[in-house]
Amino acid sequence: MYQSVNDVYKEIFGEDQSREGEALEKIANLVISRLKNEHSKWDVSVPGTYSNQSYQVDGVLEKCEESIECKDYSKRGDKVGRPDVQSYEGALIDQPFKKGNFVSSTGYSNRVPKYEQGLTKNPKAVPIECYEIRNAEQKDLEGRIRTIVVNVSALSDSGKWKILPIFTEAGEKRLIDKLQDGSCVSRVDKICDVHGNTISTIPELTKDCHKYMYPSLNEMYFTYVPLTTGYVEICNIWIELKGMEIRIPIEHIVIEIKKDEKVALYVKNSSGSIDSILSIEDLKDQYVKMGGLESQRAKGKENEQ
């Protein structure tokens, strides 16, 4: 498990954060954009709607007109309090956003949920959704599926199949009469009618055997009875056949699939509709999808000069 948000940041970006709070800001942009299936912009300068001042915004989701605000109080060991969220709400009123997303790495004080709920009831307020994004701990993994076990029952290799002719009484008598030494070696690969025309081949008989397979059995028996009297050729003698018994051993295979991803973050929103674990691979994939994260505020200043 990673010890700090900066450790996760370093795993993704290959370097330490350049200033306190940068790691959470970038990671929050990756997480929120992944959850909302929209690309975000990090560190954006936004002009006030009613004032002449410019706001530095930690993240912007342009399509859904939402912003992201982050507070990393891990060094102080404090939770985000109502004044932090209230200050964010005051700024949102002067910004061109329909909703705010507040992200904390250390949780929230008891007064924040009531204030957050009150904003949804106030027609003049901009609603805010609070998220907790922090390093995942072992307790966060409890009760989550990390390993999947699949039990598979499969037909064994055809080389292990036993195909046994079932002779009629007349067929058995003919065998006894013609094979005086009591033994023979012969290959049975088809069943014919009285005129020597092929009724069925062994591959045709066995192609649908899987339909009769039951996982609880160790061996499957599949009996074939010709629609008309059939014959098989044994040592150049045509022997009358009643049917064929096919014995197929069933192999039981256990497949265990484990998630070998590097567990990184625990993500939860205030309503509880989001309660997820994200891996380093998840975050890297989102970073690639977004084409990276560069400060939009820095770009804006360069364009103004």
Q: What is the 3-state secondary structure (H, E, C) of 141-165?
A: HCCCCCEEEEEEEEECCHHHCEEEE
φ, ψ dihedrals at 27, nearest 5°? -65, -40
Residue 300 is predicted with a pLDDT of 45
Q: What is the mean pLDDT of residues 51-68?
A: 95
Comparing 261 with 217, the larger pLDDT belongs to 261
Residue 302 is predicted with a pLDDT of 42
Instruction: Give the contacts of 197 (CB within 8 A, at least 6 positions apart).
Output: none
> Using one digit for the tens of pLDDT, what is the confidence trace for 5-43?
999 999 999 999 999 999 999 999 999 999 999 999 999
Average pLDDT of the chain, as a whole number: 88
Domains of the chain: 5-143+260-304 (3.40.1350.10), 150-256 (no CATH)
**Residue 119 and residue 124: Cα distance in Å, rounded?**
8
> Using one digit for the tens of pLDDT, what is the confidence trace for 91-145?
999 999 999 999 999 999 999 999 999 999 999 999 999 999 999 999 999 988 8
Q: What is the mean pLDDT of residues 79-101?
A: 97
Q: What is the mean pLDDT of residues 148-172?
A: 83
What are the angstrom distances between the C-alpha of 83 and each of 108, 113, 240?
Answer: 11, 12, 95
Residue 184 is predicted with a pLDDT of 77
**Residue 265 and residue 97: Cα distance in Å, rounded?**
27
**Residue 41 and residue 58: Cα distance in Å, rounded?**
8
Residue 305 is predicted with a pLDDT of 29
**Residue 285 and residue 173: Cα distance in Å, rounded?**
74
